[in-house]
């Protein structure tokens, strides 16, 4: 493993790509739709009693919370105004979106409440959405609950002995989606794995990740376990927790999937992969969809200064794509805490600084090298001359100061859709004391989409 990782980094370091100054393009708010944070839906009628309520195990000691609404949601030290457990399943955490030809969209809810340990009662689901932009509403046409009736998961799931075998946020952390004719491709973070589901949500394939010759594993990989005693060596993994497939794009002909890791791979000596110019690089890994095998081809997505992760990824054509890049800040600088190491309830500890959507290019010519960043829009200063915003922003502008913005796709030749993951009930970036809603916006970004 050590030699493979070093060799991989050496190849990437030899890349001859040169990086021009990143160009910023304008963005204009066209429409704004909101799904309220506290949108709770019932579990399916055939789901076990365990899933009829959710967020029962979210306290630090993981003890079961017996009473509904007895555990307050917090963003650090700030209360968010919502409490757990919930009577039903939250329709929250939208993490990945795909525009369909009929004007609808597919999205998905991620693992549940932030970790494998606290999400065993969070159901995994996909959502077919339609936006009423005039009314500012998000309508769910259909919700598909994911399950594993044919025992395709290569490990015991939470509901192993049940008849329907619904999947939960302790089984997989689903973060990206690509609808296809026979179902859905889904990228997840615990393995990380690429998953395939039928149109009605049944798991058919679980594909472990291989980046070239590297077997990619996060600390939540099901084959890893703590050693039997403290003197033994810890198991090896090369990807940080929550560093898996936050983005996953599909080639225009459907023959290839491109999984984009949220975090960088680590070498055996604890160093992260870098591009030629010294930027932290995130792997883009190519999968042959017909063979359901990795092709061995990879690229690096170079993070900008201040960028810490990606949020979503969709192709524009055969070689260009949109990527959300972000830091881990939330809230606005005008309400920043005086000392981020001493956060208080009336301020944002670490305000948002980098929330962008990049257009990138990767192709045969730069395999094994860094993708080319063509330019970006800044989601913290979106022009709003017609006052289309329904909340947030200020005079003449709209902003998205959320810790996680995880939905982007092109809608037509001049517009894109963008949405946040509200991490219910833990994220409060729009206001100091209120859980973030799920906000979706239609943006006019012709210059970015036309940029070469």
| 3-state SS class at 46 | coil
DSSP 91: -
CA 93 vs CA 162, 242, 276, 408, 433: distances in Å: 26, 14, 35, 14, 19
302 exposed, middle or buried (CB, 10 Å; 0-12, 13-18, 19+)?
buried
All residue ranges of the chain with pLDDT < 50 are 1-19
**Rounded CA separation 247/409 (Å):** 11
For the chain, percent of residues with pLDDT exceeding 70: 95
| 3-state SS class at 334 | helix
* CA R_g for the chain: 21
According to the CATH classification, is domain 24-227+238-450 in 2.120.10? yes
**Rounded CA separation 380/399 (Å):** 4
As a dihedral over the C-alpha atoms of residue 243, residue 409, residue 304, residue 294, rounded to 10 degrees, the angle is: 50
**Rounded CA separation 143/426 (Å):** 23
**Rounded CA separation 182/214 (Å):** 30
Instruction: Count CB-CB contacts under 10 A for residue 67.
Output: 9
Beta partners for 298?
285
Q: For the chain, which residues make up each domain, given as ranges?
A: 24-227+238-450
Please, what sign has the CA dihedral across residues 122, 53, 162, 142? negative
pLDDT at residue 235, as a whole number: 85
Nearest residue to 196 via CA among 239, 257, 136: 257
Task: Give residue-wise pLDDT tens across range 215-269.
Answer: 999 999 999 999 999 999 888 999 999 999 999 999 999 999 999 999 999 998 8
Q: What angle do CA 103, 109, 114 make, to 5 degrees?
A: 150
pLDDT at residue 19, as a whole number: 44
Task: Give residue-wise pLDDT tens across range 95-132.
Answer: 999 999 999 999 999 999 999 999 999 999 999 999 99
| 3-state SS class at 137 | strand
pLDDT at residue 20, as a whole number: 52
CA 108 vs CA 83, 92, 118, 138, 207: distances in Å: 23, 9, 19, 14, 19
């Amino acid at each position: 493993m050590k030699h493979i990782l070093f060799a991989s980094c050496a190849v990437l370091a030899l890349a001859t790509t040169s990086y021009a100054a990143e160009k910023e393009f304008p963005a204009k708010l066209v429409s704004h739709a909101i799904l309220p944070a506290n949108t709770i839906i019932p579990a399916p009628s055939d789901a076990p009693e365990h899933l009829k309520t959710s967020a029962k195990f979210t306290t630090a000691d993981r003890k079961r919370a017996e009473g509904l609404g007895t555990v307050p949601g917090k963003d650090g030290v700030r209360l968010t105004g919502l409490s757990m457990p919930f009577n039903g399943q939250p329709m929250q955490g939208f993490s990945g979106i795909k525009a369909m030809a009929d004007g609808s969209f597919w999205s998905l809810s991620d693992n549940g409440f932030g970790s494998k340990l606290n999400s065993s009662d969070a159901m995994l689901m996909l959502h077919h959405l339609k936006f009423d932009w005039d009314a500012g509403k998000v309508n769910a046409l259909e919700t598909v609950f994911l399950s594993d009736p044919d025992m395709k998961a290569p490990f015991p799931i939470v509901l192993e002995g049940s008849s329907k075998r619904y999947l939960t946020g302790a089984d997989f952390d689903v973060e990206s989606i690509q609808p296809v004719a026979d179902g859905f491709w889904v990228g997840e973070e615990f393995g990380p794995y690429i998953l395939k589901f039928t149109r009605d949500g049944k798991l058919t394939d679980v594909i472990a990740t291989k980046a070239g010759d590297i077997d990619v594993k996060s600390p939540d990989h099901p084959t890893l376990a703590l050693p039997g005693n403290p003197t033994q060596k810890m198991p090896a993994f090369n990807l940080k927790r929550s560093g898996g497939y936050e983005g996953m794009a599909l080639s225009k002909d459907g023959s290839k999937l491109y999984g984009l890791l949220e975090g960088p791979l680590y070498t055996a000596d604890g160093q992260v992969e870098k591009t030629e110019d010294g930027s932290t690089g995130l792997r883009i890994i190519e999968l042959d969809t017909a063979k359901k095998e990795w092709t061995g081809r990879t690229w690096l997505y170079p993070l900008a200064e201040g960028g810490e992760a990606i949020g979503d990824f969709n192709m524009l054509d055969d070689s260009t794509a949109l990527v959300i890049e972000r830091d881990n800040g939330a809230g606005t600088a005008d309400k920043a805490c005086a000392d981020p190491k001493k956060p208080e309830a009336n301020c944002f500890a670490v305000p948002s600084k980098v929330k962008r959507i990049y257009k990138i290019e990767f192709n045969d010519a730069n395999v094994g090298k860094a993708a080319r960043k063509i330019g970006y829009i800044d989601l913290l200063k979106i022009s709003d001359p017609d006052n289309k915003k329904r909340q947030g922003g200020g005079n003449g502008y709209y902003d998205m100061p959320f810790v996680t913005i995880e939905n982007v796709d092109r809608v037509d030749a001049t517009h894109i859709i963008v949405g946040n993951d509200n991490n219910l009930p833990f994220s409060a970036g729009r206001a100091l004391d209120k859980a973030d809603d799920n906000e979706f916006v239609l943006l006019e970004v012709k210059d970015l989409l036309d940029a070469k």
